[in-house]
Structure 1
Amino acid sequence: MSEYISPSEFLRLRDEGLPLIDVRSPSEYAHAHIPGSLNLPLLSDEEREAVGTAHAKSGSEAALHVALELIGPQLAAKLGRARQLCRNCLHGRREINRNGKKEKRVLLHCWRGGMRSRALAWLMETGGFSVFILEGGYKAYRSFVRSELAKPVNALVLSGMTGSGKTEVLHELAALGAQVVDLEGLACHRGSAFGGIGMGVQPCNEHMENTLFEQWRKLDPARPVWLEDEDRRIGTVSLCGELFEHVRTGRVVELHVPLEGRIRRLLRLYTGAEFKSALADCIERIRPRLGDERATLCSRAVQSERFEDAVRDILFFYDRLYARQMDKHGRLRIFRLDMPQDDPHAAAEILYRKELSGEL
């Protein structure tokens, strides 16, 4: 008989190496899923729509009848596919369990822990598996993620003007042993209007949170966690309220890097003939904030590949914006680190020493 378990126990067993099968439709899975899960849809997107239509028109019994008609001819193939997924997942890791027998335990979930989970659980039990179903399904997992993200943490928020190399400093801190969550890395965006250049496709909010939670749940609550100072929106990703509250209320450490060092960094990141079109598009998007005259000068500089002139003008705008925001929000600034040059490793060493000494 299958066993219903809590999200925390479900994730613990996944961490032990048990295969995790998500029986939701392909589109549900593609939108967002539990990291490490494998998709074995009980119903395709089209079949799920047909079942939903039957339910809306004729009720639950009619919907169940339609579902059985669709699933019935596929049962043998579904079981075979489930066995293959489990073998692939366990290969080279835990094909033999602690009792010396072949591992035949599996984790399952659907949206709410309902019919789809129960149906595949019955099928896999018939095939000899012991099945653990996520109580409340993926919906319960999402609630669990949000509740865990809301728990208090000792957040140190690294702030600084555009081009200060904050993300690289965080990476250096992580290499030294600090607890770091790279929000921009998870969002696949560097945060400013230009932050998407060269970064690829961003995840949706939901999947970014799921991926972030994999790091969050492993943090030591007795130690500080470093975050980068961000707006609530990072490109197209919006930080959930539970997470953004840590950024908003965390203790701020300010990093100051000379203007010329910041310009050189931004030239390395964002400029070059291959980025001209993207840069021009970004300038147009913030034209109302830059002002027509400055935006036009920046666009002309980019088109003539005078990238340093464009970066210098854009930084003039961003530096004033940063100063206004810091003054407006009146956040708790506990330390200011003035670096003589752009040196993320040296900055991280100073900050980590201060963390270990209890000065931060």
Structure 2
Amino acid sequence: MLREISINEYLNKAAEVPLVDVRSPGEYQKGHIPGASNIPLFSNEERAAVGTVYVQQSKEKAIELGYKYVTPKLDWFISESKKRSRQNSIAVHCWRGGMRSKSFAQHLSENGFADVFVIRGGYKAFRKHALEAFKTKAEICILGGYTGSGKTYILKELKNKGAQIIDLEGLANHKGSAFGRVGSGEQPTIEQFENNLFWQWKDLDLQKPIWVEDESHRIGLVNIPMNFYNNMRQQPVIFLDIPRQERAQHLVNEYASVNKAILEDSIRRISKRLGGLNTQKALDHLEKNEFFEVAMITLVYYDKYYWRGLKNREHNHIYPVEIKHIDHSTNAQQILNYHESIRVQEH
């Protein structure tokens, strides 16, 4: 059976029906539906050549060239799709549900696949659906706190205790500061970050609290979708008030094993804000492996930077929680208890 389905219909089947993206590798790398496998009809170079012929000659000539590229790959399309299909069932999409996905799906249907679904509107329909989804209001709980408060670890503990969370820094593969790339791999594209965020968002109960870390609009090289970010900015902040010495030690535990050249580069990135004297002091301490002193110097800058951002919020939307020591599990429970007390008071 071969039939078209909407993106909503596919999302309801996503857990059971594998998805194949037949766009070129370059299109796929820029952004794709999470979980989709790339079995490209054309290579990047072939796609460019077909496009050139379409513009400079005709649609018919472009189709003719396309068939020339595709014909030797027909058996490969079948074998690769079989590796990914489940019970001879598979879904297919291209950029907007046009000739590429329909011809690929027809080929599968004629060669033993029982159920082949083509996503109507293709990847373009998915993108529209994903970005629209961020307009939906939800009870987002913002976990704030100065650098070194262990917010990411607390999020994980909140999840262990049954709370809903979205780890934006985890999705961005960046910790959101000059040191944010330390210990992290390559960041996704902005488009892929949005796709991955939606993939988590779609499965959450929007009637229940969703915990996220307080973030700037930009995390490294990616941006939080504007509708999602605006929703965040309208929510109250539960602010972890943890002594600087505790936070400095936490940073030492996290970064002391990192290559010092990377740490030095990160310090130099904020040298204008640290000032020449503090930058040199931090570099001197780094050279001597005095990581605690480095952390204390850089935290002065980060604390001021974060506080300026926090002051842009309505004051009565900030709820400080005084915490003496960094114990992620204990702190997570304290935050849950405090949040529940706030909800009781407001109702």
TM-score calculated relative to the size of structure 2: 0.94
Contact 1:32–1:206 (CA<8 Å) still a contact in 2?
Answer: yes
Distance 2:318 2:176 in 1: 23
Contact 1:254–1:333 (CA<8 Å) still a contact in 2?
Answer: no
- Partner amino acid, structure 1, of 2:167: D
Percent identity for Structure 1 against Structure 2:
37
- Partner amino acid, structure 2, of 1:219: L
| Root-mean-square deviation over aligned CA pairs | 1.7
- Partner amino acid, structure 1, of 2:28: Y
Distance 1:84 1:174 in 2: 34
Contact 2:282–2:293 (CA<8 Å) still a contact in 1?
Answer: yes
Structure 1: any 5+ residue segments left out of the alignment? 91-102
Distance 1:332 1:197 in 2: 35
2:106 alignment partner, SS class: helix
1:328 alignment partner, SS class: coil
Q: Which residue number corresponds to residue 20 of structure 2?
A: 21
Deviation (angstroms), 1:353: 2.7
Contact 1:176–1:352 (CA<8 Å) still a contact in 2?
Answer: no
Establish whether residue 114 from structure 1 lines up as the match of residue 113 from structure 2.
no
> Which residue of 228, 244, 249 corresponds with 1:243?
228
Distance 1:46 1:163 in 2: 47
Distance 2:333 2:290 in 1: 35
Distance 1:326 1:221 in 2: 25
Contact 1:188–1:200 (CA<8 Å) still a contact in 2?
Answer: yes
Q: Which residue number corresponds to residue 333 of structure 1?
A: 317
Establish whether residue 259 from structure 1 lines up as the match of residue 244 from structure 2.
yes
Contact 1:21–1:39 (CA<8 Å) still a contact in 2?
Answer: yes
Q: Deviations over 1:65-124 (max 9, x none)?
A: 1111221233233223322332xxx3xxxxxxxxxxxx3332000111111001101101
Q: Which residue number corresponds to residue 30 of structure 1?
A: 29
Q: Which residue number corresponds to residue 57 of structure 1?
A: 56
Distance 1:61 1:162 in 2: 59
Q: Which residue number corresponds to residue 195 of structure 2?
A: 210
Distance 1:166 1:289 in 2: 24
Deviation (angstroms), 1:48: 0.9
TM-score calculated relative to the size of structure 1: 0.90
1:258–1:121 distance in 2 versus 1, CA, 3 Å: same
Contact 2:2–2:117 (CA<8 Å) still a contact in 1?
Answer: yes
2:182 alignment partner, SS class: coil
1:151 alignment partner, SS class: coil
Structure 2: any 5+ residue segments left out of the alignment? none
Q: Which residue number corresponds to residue 96 of structure 1?
A: none
Q: How many residues align?
A: 343
Establish whether residue 323 from structure 1 lines up as the match of residue 307 from structure 2.
yes
Deviation (angstroms), 1:275: 2.5
Q: Which residue number corresponds to residue 205 of structure 2?
A: 220
Distance 1:119 1:140 in 2: 19
Deviation (angstroms), 1:356: 4.5
Distance 2:72 2:332 in 1: 60
Contact 1:24–1:43 (CA<8 Å) still a contact in 2?
Answer: yes
